Amino acid sequence: MSMVINTNMSAASAAKSLQASQASLDKSLARLSSGSKITSASDDAGGLAVSMKMDSQIERLKAAKANIGNAVSFTQAQDGYLANMGSALDRMGELSLLAKDGTKTDADREMYDLEYQQLAQTVSDITTKTWNGINLFSDNDLSVTTDSEGGTFKMIGIDMADVLEKMGGDISTFDTAGVALDDMKDALSLVASSRAIIGSNQTRLHSISEQIVVASENLFAASSRIQDVDVAEEASEFARFNILVQSGTAMLAQANQIPQNVLRLLQ
């Protein structure tokens, strides 16, 4: 083995190993401090691309779930108003039947008609209700997003036009009370069928919401496997690289002492 002064190959080799160990130690420290296996694109270029797409899909699913929640609130508002309408129609039917009584005079029926007309106005008012500026009751279907790709589910519109047509009568005479009674039965049937439609819409929305939750959980798990660091495993790696850095530093110091041995030959 030749002994030289200008070129210390041992020190160069030790420095190279120390540099590699230090880089690995720094990367391990970055992973432990951030909790992520990918601290830069070079760590896992393919994994980073996949995880970014997954994270984006997760965020879109969150938005879809929020839209579903709004749609559920919309249908709950519809159902609440229709329940109120059903109670009003029940009472109107009752008043119609009370007015259809041969033992009562038209003056008596006029008293019943006062309440009947107020209830009719209540029913009419309900049909004009809105939710965030959207008509609760119309013949327009309402589209709701169902997934991260913008797929939609159409909720059937609840049209109260036929119910409104039944609100124009009165119970001030025996004959009109009979007509009103038939109208109230028809109107109540329409409200009942509308509530059934709303119930089916809610069932579908809840099912979609559950599917979104399942999809989100699976995407979270897949993204975690790519991005999240295993702390126990990485802590072991950190300890290993830390020891390598310390030993490499010591060996570099020793390698730097080798040229001094040449001086002994010159004494």
Check residue 30 and give its pLDDT: 74
**pLDDT surpassing 90 at residue 245:** no
Q: What is the mean pLDDT of residues 153-171?
A: 91
Do residue 198 and residue 118 come from a single domain?
Answer: yes
**pLDDT surpassing 70 at residue 211:** yes
Distance CA 49, CA 189 (A): 56
**Packing angle of the helix pair 174-227, 45-99 (nearest 10 deg):** 170
DSSP E strand stretches across the chain: 130-131, 134-135, 142-145, 152-155
- CATH number at 60 reads 1.20.1330.10
Q: Is residue 4 part of a domain?
A: no
Check residue 87 and give its pLDDT: 96
Of 157, 133, 153, 137, the residue nearest 145 (C-alpha):
153
Q: What is the mean pLDDT of residues 23-39?
A: 74
**pLDDT surpassing 90 at residue 79:** yes
Do residue 97 and residue 208 come from a single domain?
Answer: yes
**pLDDT surpassing 60 at residue 3:** no
Q: Is residue 1 part of a domain?
A: no
Domain boundaries, position 246: 9-37+229-262
Do residue 73 and residue 202 come from a single domain?
Answer: yes
Q: What is the mean pLDDT of residues 135-153?
A: 90
Check residue 262 and give its pLDDT: 62
Distance CA 249, CA 25 (A): 13
**pLDDT surpassing 80 at residue 92:** yes
Q: What is the CB-side half-sphere exposure of residue 48 using CA atoms within 13 A?
A: 10
Distance CA 232, CA 153 (A): 45
Confidence of residue 47 (pLDDT cuts 50, 70, 90): confident
What mean pLDDT value characterizes the chain? 86
Do residue 222 and residue 258 come from a single domain?
Answer: no
CA 151 to chain centre: 14
Do residue 32 and residue 74 come from a single domain?
Answer: no
Do residue 87 and residue 144 come from a single domain?
Answer: yes
CB-count burial class (<10 Å; 0-12, 13-18, 19+) for 145: buried
Q: What is the mean pLDDT of residues 180-198?
A: 95
Q: Is residue 115 part of a domain?
A: yes
Check residue 213 and give its pLDDT: 92
Q: What is the CB-side half-sphere exposure of residue 100 using CA atoms within 13 A?
A: 15
Do residue 247 and residue 223 come from a single domain?
Answer: no
Check residue 204 and give its pLDDT: 93
Return the structure tokens found at 186: 């028809």
Provide the 3-class DSSP secondary structure of residue 35. coil
Check residue 233 and give its pLDDT: 77
**pLDDT surpassing 80 at residue 35:** no
Confidence of residue 264 (pLDDT cuts 50, 70, 90): low
Distance CA 75, CA 180 (A): 29
Q: What is the mean pLDDT of residues 47-72?
A: 90
Q: Is residue 160 part of a domain?
A: yes
Do residue 60 and residue 173 come from a single domain?
Answer: yes
Q: What is the mean pLDDT of residues 204-230?
A: 87
**pLDDT surpassing 90 at residue 240:** no
Provide the 3-class DSSP secondary structure of residue 38. coil
The residue ranking higher by pLDDT, 7 or 254, is 254
Confidence of residue 190 (pLDDT cuts 50, 70, 90): very high
Do residue 222 and residue 243 come from a single domain?
Answer: no
Whether 179 contacts 24, CB under 8 Å: no
Q: What is the mean pLDDT of residues 84-112?
A: 94
Work out the percent of the chain whose per-residue pLDDT is above 70. 89
Whether 139 contacts 156, CB under 8 Å: no
Do residue 173 and residue 213 come from a single domain?
Answer: yes
Distance CA 267, CA 262 (A): 9
Structurally, the chain folds into a number of domains equal to 2
Check residue 228 and give its pLDDT: 67
Angle, CA of 226, 229 and 233, to the nearest 5°:
125
